[in-house]
Amino acid sequence: MSRDQILAALRQNQPEPVPLPASIPLERIEALELQAKFKTMAEGIGSIVHLVDEFAAILPLIEARFSKEKRVLSTVKELVSAAIPAFELHADPHSYADVDVAIFKSGLGVAENSALWLTEEQMGIRVLPFITQHIVMVIPLAALVPDMHTAYQKIGEADYEFGTFIAGPSKTADIEQSLVLGAHGPRSMTIFVYA
């Protein structure tokens, strides 16, 4: 078969044209890719990640997941209910020693390592995210960035007194080469990423 015959056969056997699918904005595709990478990294280091379509879906999930815990505090006013009281600042940080669950809202998450940025204002008090037994973080999908370089550019332009990145529950493998969760801080980390 000659080249011309092959090309003619190809031209005659073309599929019927179909309309293009509705376009998805490039920003949305990039955000979903960041979300997938963030979720993979977070789960890889021991966090539990919930992807929710709307912020309103978060409160019932938190209430169900932590219904047996004795002391739950929320620094996020939209995530306060009869079962979850609002955080109140006390002068003595020891008053938070018995907190089982603390809820925070981060304004910056890093896809490459699942680190979430919290400032002291978001923490309520510096000690709270480190002494609670279980930490719950909520973050909007739009607040995810690809890497630490981008994250540092963003926090470098912000005004805050104290801030820290938190990624996953506390863990150590120093003791007899066994992984121990909650060794120096929260035993679990639950993250809600919402659109």
pLDDT confidence of residue 171:
74
- In DSSP terms, 74 is beta-bridged to 86, 103
For residue 21, the model assigns a pLDDT of: 67
Whole-angstrom distance, CA of residue 84 vs CA of residue 86 = 7
Q: What is the DSSP letter of 143?
A: G
What CATH number corresponds to the domain at position 146?
A: 3.40.50.10420
Q: Which two tokens stand for residue 174?
A: 């120093």
Determine, yes or no, domain membership for 136: yes
Neighbours of 31 (CB within 10 A): 19
How far apart (Å, rounded) are the C-alpha atoms in residues 1 and 8? 11
Give the model's pLDDT for residue 39: 97
> What letter represents residue 47's amino acid?
S
Could you tell me if residue 111 is inside a domain? yes
Amino acid identity, position 90: H
Per residue in 131-188, pLDDT (tens digit) is 999 999 999 999 999 999 999 999 998 889 999 999 988 777 776 777 676 667 789 9
Amino acid 101: pLDDT: 98
Quick: pLDDT tens for 20-61.
666 666 566 688 899 999 999 999 999 999 999 999 999 999
Domain span holding position 63: 24-88+95-194
Which has the higher per-residue pLDDT, 14 or 113? 113
User: Does the pTM of the predicted model rise above 0.85?
Assistant: no
In a domain, residue 6? The reply is no
**Number of folded domains in the chain?**
1
Say if 129 falls within a structural domain: yes
Q: Which residues lie below 8 Å from residue 151, measured CB to CB, with a gap of 6+?
A: 108, 110, 115, 117, 145, 165
Check residue 100 and give its pLDDT.
97
Tell me, yes or no, whether 13 lies in a domain: no
pLDDT score recorded for residue 48? 97
Q: Is the alpha carbon torsion for 38, 43, 48, 52 positive or negative?
A: positive
84's CB contacts (< 8 A; 6+ apart) are 59, 62, 63, 72, 73, 74, 103
Q: Determine how many CB atoms are found less than 10 A away from the CB of residue 94.
A: 9
In a domain, 55, yes or no: yes
Residue 15 lies in a domain: no
Angle ∠(163,103,187) on CA atoms, nearest 5 = 90
Residue 19 counted as domain residue? no
Looking at residue 182, what is its pLDDT?
62
Buried b or exposed e, range 77-87, using 16+ CB within 10 angstroms: eebbeeebeeb
